[in-house]
Every structure is written in C-alpha cells, then in structure tokens.
Amino acid sequence: MKYLFILGRNIELSKAEVFSYFEKLGNRILKYELEKNGLFLDLENPIKENEIDFLGGVISIGKVIASGTEEELLKNIDKEELYFGTENKLNYTIWNFSKSLEVIRDYLKERFKKEKLKATLKHLTREIKLQEGKRANVPSSKLINEEYFIFGNKELYFGKIFQTCNYEIIEERDMNKPVRRASLAISPRLAKIMINLSKVKEDEILLDPFCGIGTILSEALLQKIKVMGIDKDEKAIIGARQNLEWSKFDKKDYQLINSNSTKTQIDYVYAIATEPDLGEILKKIPTKNKAKETLQKFEDLIVNVLNNFREKISGRVVFTSPNIRIGKKRIHPEIEKILKKTDYKLIYELPEFRENQIVGRMIYVLER
Ligand SMILES: C[S@@+](CC[C@H](N)C(=O)[O-])C[C@H]1O[C@@H](n2cnc3c(N)ncnc32)[C@H](O)[C@@H]1O
C-alpha cells in the first residue's frame, strides 16, 4: 500500500509523528523515502479514509496509482482513470517531488486533451517556510478539483491526493472553546503530534501533569484515549473542566486533579504528553545567565515530576522544553543530565520554533 504524506513546516517532527503513529497501530512501514516535505511510505496495510484527522503534522495524503521507470509509469497511468468529476472543466495541480515533473506535466496535458476535458494546470503558488530554513510550495486556490503528485527519481510514483487537513474545523474548535489562554496554550496541531509521539492507544490512559486548560487532554479524548490532567493552578483545572464539558466528552474518560505534579500520587497510566511552564514570556533576548537560570529551573522541575511518576508509567514520556535564543544561537536543557537523573533513554530530540521566536520549543521523547 503506497502513499505520499505531505508534511507541514517541521519535517523532522512530522516524520517522527508519522513513524510513531504507524508503530502504535502496528501498520508496518515496509519502505520509506523523504524528499523535501514529501514522505513516501509503503505500508503493510491500507490507511483509514479519515487518517489525516489523527495526524497533527500532515498537510495532505495521496495514494500511489502508478509506478515504474519513466516509460513504465506512463504506460501504467494510461490504464488508470484520473478524473472522476462530472463537469468537463477541471483545474488540477501537480505536487512535485521528482526530477520527472516535465514528463508528467506533458503527459497529463495530452491525456486531458484526448479526453476532451477543459483542463487547466494550476501552480502551487503559496510558499511556506520550513523549520530548516528551506521553502516549499502549497496550493493557494480552493478552486482545484484534483491534486496529483509525482515522487521519486529512478523508481517513480504517481498518484492522487485523497485526504487534506481541514485547518478551518480545527481552528474553529480551538477558538470557540469557553476558556482560552492564548499566551500559555499549545496549539491543537502540536498537541496531536505529541500524543502520537507518545504512542498511546485508544482506551489507554494519557497523563498531562501540566495540563493547563486541557488542550492536550481534548485532542487525546477526540481520539478515544482516556486522560488524566494535573495542574497546580485551581483556575486552570476549572478552565480545563469547562472546556472538556463543552466538548461533551464522557466524564468517565477523564480525571482532573488540582495538585502539584512533583508530589501527586496517581494510579497507573500508559504515557505522558505535556508542556510544562517554559519560563517567562520574553519580549527581549535574555542574557546567557538568565536563560541558563530558566533552563536549570526547568530541568529540576521535569526531573522531580518524572521521578514522582516513574513507577506508574510504562510507555513513553513526551514533553516540550524551552529553546531560548541568545544572540544567534539557541540553548535548551541538557538532556543527558535529565536522562541520568531519571533513568530514561532518549528516542527523539526535535526543535520546534519560528525564526524570530525568542522562546521556542525543544520536544523530547523518552522511553525506559
Ligand atoms: C504552559 S502551561 C500548560 C498549557 C497547556 N498545555 C494548555 O494548553 O493550556 C503549564 C501549566 O503547568 C502548571 N504547573 C506549573 N508547575 C506545576 C506543578 N509543579 N504541578 C502541576 N502543575 C504545574 C501551570 O499552572 C500551567 O498551567
């Protein structure tokens, strides 16, 4: 089952998310190739029609419909139907992750002419800046009926996009919830990524020991994962409760505790996904000493919390940490020290920040 996953702006983070997600589902990745933000996957089993709703870092998913060398590919595409619409007017686009774009562009033009379709090729004109500094193009127009793609160089893969992330629905849900704390909250997109990195499955329990108003909890509940949220701020817990009630989640699927996570006693949970306090919100670049002080506080807090819960968690621990700009460099916690003091192993260390952001994030995924 061959697919193309078009990843969002943080390629390494999104790739780690997709890999963790299919690992948890037990859908083996038989082969993969990454070209810019295009991730080709050969999966053991087919994916669900709405798989994209479960992934935070994926823009679109396409299905491969023909493959082979240039010559074989064109012969194979000829056997496939490409347009299922009823009108004879069609706007289409081609996502390109290959040196053979021109071949496919010429083929489609001829093919649609033969089929007497008034087909117009629309270019991917909207540019997004990737985490690594490179750029990628995405469609800017909604008036596109079909999105095709070409991937690979020796072995080529051609296919059609069949799932696209609906950002509007996600944003609307986030903006309409009764309690919002814009400066402290994590985005639903990042919450989903972290949940997938934790590999927690349906019906297992995920703990967020710094739950705030419950963004990670909500995203997990939407995926039928049970949750436990802890926050030392009573107002945050009241806000989280209001938000979860507003979403009409079943009350037996969540537990909210107003307490200090360095001391709270809990029953067994499967994994942790959380964003602890990242320190003060800074408008100016801090001095190196000030930044180091923030990181030290962070390290002490996370070590205490992980050691408090260590006997109650068998799965992964996923947490964000401050990634602070000082001059042209960025500094983040010394993960080796945290690992040594908690006896965890590092699985991923993934930066997530915008160019001008003073306090960005470093995302850590740990396992015993
Ligand atoms: C960055 S916010 C989390 C935001 C959350 N992800 C959201 O979407 O609302 C960190 C939260 O950790 C809480 N907190 C800080 N230290 C804590 C501790 N020792 N135990 C429990 N909660 C703590 C704060 O009250 C704050 O609400």
Residues 136 and 230 in one domain: no
Centre of ligand 1 to C-alpha 84, Å, is 50
Of residues 182 and 10, more confidently modeled? 10
Residues 208 and 338 in one domain: yes
Q: What DSSP line would sit under 307-346, residue for residue? A: HHHGGGB-S-EEEEEEEEEETTEEE---HHHHHHHHT-EE
Given this model, what pLDDT does residue 327 score? Answer: 87
Centre of ligand 1 to C-alpha 368, Å, is 24
Cα 305 to chain centroid, rounded: 25
Mutate to test the pocket of ligand 1, among 231, 258, 259 (most ligand atoms within 8 A of CB): 231
Measured at the alpha carbon of residue 178, what is the angle toward residues 175 and 184, in degrees to the nearest 5?
Answer: 65
Given this model, what pLDDT does residue 137 score? Answer: 81
Domain that holds residue 112: 2-165
Residue 236 to residues 181, 230, 280, 319, Cα–Cα distance (Å): 9, 9, 17, 19
Is residue 231 in contact with ligand 1, taking CB distance under 6 Å? yes
The answer to whether the pTM exceeds 0.85 is yes
Range with the lowest mean pLDDT among 163-177, 315-329, 349-363?
Answer: 163-177
Residues 237 and 113 in one domain: no
What residue owns the CA closest to ligand 1's atom 22? 231
Which atom of ligand 1 lies at the shortest distance from residue 264's CA? Answer: 20
Is residue 219 in contact with ligand 1, taking CB distance under 6 Å? no
Cα 341 to chain centroid, rounded: 29
Centre of ligand 1 to C-alpha 233, Å, is 7
105-127: average pLDDT: 93
Residues 156 and 291 in one domain: no
Given this model, what pLDDT does residue 169 score? Answer: 84
pLDDT one-digit tens code per residue, 195-232: 999 999 999 999 999 999 999 999 999 999 999 999 99
pLDDT one-digit tens code per residue, 66-86: 999 999 999 999 999 999 888
Residue 31, beta-bridge partner list:
42
Residues 73 and 48 in one domain: yes
165, 198, 220 — which closes off a domain?
165
CATH for 155: 3.30.2130.30
Confidence of residue 141 (pLDDT cuts 50, 70, 90): low
Under a CB-based contact definition with an 8 Å cutoff, are residues 101 and 137 in contact?
Answer: no
Say whether pLDDT at 356 is over 90.
no
Looking at this protein, which amino acid is placed at residue 261?
S
Residues 179 and 161 in one domain: no
Residues 223 and 346 in one domain: yes
Residue 109 to residues 67, 115, 119, 152, 159, Cα–Cα distance (Å): 19, 10, 8, 21, 16
Which atom of ligand 1 lies at the shortest distance from residue 240's CA? Answer: 9
What total of structural domains would you count in the chain?
Answer: 2
Q: What DSSP line would sit under 187-205, residue for residue? A: PHHHHHHHHHHHT--TTSE
**Residue 152: which H helix or E strand, with range?**
strand 146-152
For residues 309 and 311, give the distance between their C-alpha atoms in angstroms, rounded to a whole number: 6
Is residue 233 in contact with ligand 1, taking CB distance under 6 Å? yes
Centre of ligand 1 to C-alpha 203, Å, is 24
Under a CB-based contact definition with an 8 Å cutoff, are residues 147 and 160 in contact?
Answer: yes
Which atom of ligand 1 lies at the shortest distance from residue 211's CA? Answer: 5
Residues 218 and 349 in one domain: yes
The DSSP call for residue 51 is: G
Centre of ligand 1 to C-alpha 212, Å, is 5
165, 185, 211 — which closes off a domain?
165
Residues 154 and 182 in one domain: no
135, 165, 195 — which closes off a domain?
165
Residues 186 and 331 in one domain: yes
Residue 56 burial (CB < 10 Å; 0-12/13-18/19+)? buried
Residue 329, beta-bridge partner list:
326
What residue owns the CA closest to ligand 1's atom 25? 233
Residues 6 and 135 in one domain: yes
Task: Return all residues near 269 (Cβ < 8 A) that are at least 6 apart.
Answer: 205, 206, 207, 228, 309, 312, 313
CATH for 260: 3.40.50.150
Given this model, what pLDDT does residue 267 score? Answer: 97
Residues 229 and 328 in one domain: yes
pLDDT one-digit tens code per residue, 265-308: 999 999 999 999 887 777 788 999 999 999 999 999 999 999 99
Confidence of residue 185 (pLDDT cuts 50, 70, 90): confident
